[in-house]
Amino acid sequence: MENQIVKERTERTKWYNDARFGMFIHWGLYAIPARGEWVRSNERMPKEEYDVFMDEFYAENYNPKEWAKLAKKAGMKYAVLTAKHHDGFCLYDSRYTDFKSTNAPCKRDLVREFLDAFREEGIKVGLYFSIIDWRREDYPHYGDMFHPMRDNEAYKGMEHDFDGYLTYMHNQVRELLTNYGHLDLMWFDFSYGPMNCEKWKASELIKMVREIQPHIIIDNRLEGSAENAGSIRTLNPTAYSGDFASPEQMIPPQGIRDAGGNPIPWEACITLNNHWGYHAHDKHYKSAKMIIHTLVECVSKNGNLILNVGPDATGRIPRESVEILTEVGEWMEENGRSIYGCGISEFPKPEWGRFTQNGNKLYAHVMEEQVGAICLPEMAGKADRLRLLKDKSEVKETHFWNLKEYQENAFFFFDSGASDCYPLPDERDTVVEILLKE
Ligand code: GLC
């Protein structure tokens, strides 16, 4: 008998499993030091040294309509913005703190503008919310695993009213869920060591979340993290185990299943360079081809890709990110049907690329040019017809003289008129739609 929590999760995540491709946006004061969103922790930076950045936060180039158009052009179906990261700075008009964008020189509710702009483009919207808050006096400092003051003796023995912190944290979640309209997703981040589950009063928190926005899907980090997915992978998930797992900066080799072998929703969260928050000198960007291959790999394993952009302090998405997403979008424009609503195939991974599948439509993602015809392993007689997805042109199965020994397989080629070598129509990933025989 299916577990009720699993049943509700399956229902809630239908749109999410079809969407497959989302935008993550990490933006905040940390874009000013521009050394990544963990700068306070990494550099043991005192609160006073960090707070001053708020006085420079003009966000003068912030235009979320442009962000939304870029996400749409890239083929992204949902987007998640950091409403508050571990530094505690709120990109929205929180009732519970003065450390917020409406008190910065920009004087704007950045979250509200983000939600309005992305909804206008028909993109589903989510908010990332840090359950950690390094700026709060009532959050553990000395001896914590990550707090910026974790090894500062001055904080040794300091008392922290952690219940007071939880009241603050739960109140902020409530105001986000109450004051900003229909949200499709909440991305909580993250649990670690003793800081997990009921330490956050997670049962109480998730009860409130489900009461205010019952449809909303949440990640698994009230309980887990990128290192440990938590009970979402068991047959007895907790109420706060989340609706999807959140592997980070890697693609799970076999996708993610629960202890019963049932696929569970998951999204790989990946950066375009090597930082979530803006880093002025990290120019090591992944190519559009690599992003396309990564997206296809996620879908071929029943997962999603949420791809991060880190806008600079003025609110501009880095030019490199715009260029990559624009090229990915051109490929998605022609091949999105092999991504949206697709998942793992009934056929094993071929040597030249990957399969994604949606019912009786199998998508062959040919990523490497082959010597001779392209082999569909042990698929002789299984294909009704083959079409190049981008233009629906016929792709011919072949029975070349040199293939006669291997008739258990099917073969096809891209007939460019040349003999013996068949360049890929799209060297990044050429997609062939194979209509399978019933
Ligand atoms: C990790 C990073 C955090 C980032 C998150 C995104 O938890 O530490 O900064 O926001 O991944 O998935």
pLDDT in tens, 20-46: 999 999 999 999 999 999 999 999 999
Tell whether 248 and 362 lie within a shared domain.
no
- Per-residue confidence (pLDDT) for residue 415, from 0 to 100: 81
From CA 364, how far away is CA 334, in angstroms rounded? 14
Do residues 275 and 282 touch, judged by C-beta distance below 8 A?
yes
Q: Which domain holds residue 214?
A: 4-338
Tell whether 264 and 121 lie within a shared domain.
yes
Most informative mutation of 147, 192, 276, 309 for ligand 1 (most atoms within 8 A of CB): 276
From CA 366, how far away is CA 361, in angstroms rounded? 16
Q: For 71-98, what is each residue's pLDDT tens digit?
A: 999 999 999 999 999 999 999 999 999 9
Give the pocket of ligand 1 (CB within 6 Å).
26, 37-38, 189-190, 248, 269, 276
- Please count the other Cβ atoms lying within 10 Å of the Cβ belonging to residue 295: 26
**What does DSSP say about strands 185-189 and 217-218: parallel, antiparallel, or unpaired?**
parallel
Flag whether pLDDT at 1 surpasses 80. no
Tell whether 378 and 333 lie within a shared domain.
no
H or E segment and range at residue 50: helix 47-51
Read off the tokens for 356.
């994604």
Angle among Cα 253, 257, 258 to the nearest 5 degrees reads: 145
Tell whether 268 and 328 lie within a shared domain.
yes
Of the three residues 338, 361, 382, the one that is the final residue of a domain is 338
Flag whether pLDDT at 420 surpasses 80. no
Give 115 Cα–ligand 1 centroid separation in angstroms. 21
From CA 339, how far away is CA 357, in angstroms rounded? 9
Give 184 Cα–ligand 1 centroid separation in angstroms. 20
Number of domains present in the structure of the chain: 2
- Please count the other Cβ atoms lying within 10 Å of the Cβ belonging to residue 176: 22
CATH number for the domain including 61? 3.20.20.80
Tell whether 320 and 386 lie within a shared domain.
no
From CA 178, how far away is CA 306, in angstroms rounded? 25
Adjacent-strand bridge partners of 218? 186
Read off the tokens for 320.
């490199």
* Mean pLDDT value of segment 301-308: 98
Of the three residues 338, 369, 390, the one that is the final residue of a domain is 338
Do residues 124 and 216 touch, judged by C-beta distance below 8 A?
no
- Please count the other Cβ atoms lying within 10 Å of the Cβ belonging to residue 151: 13
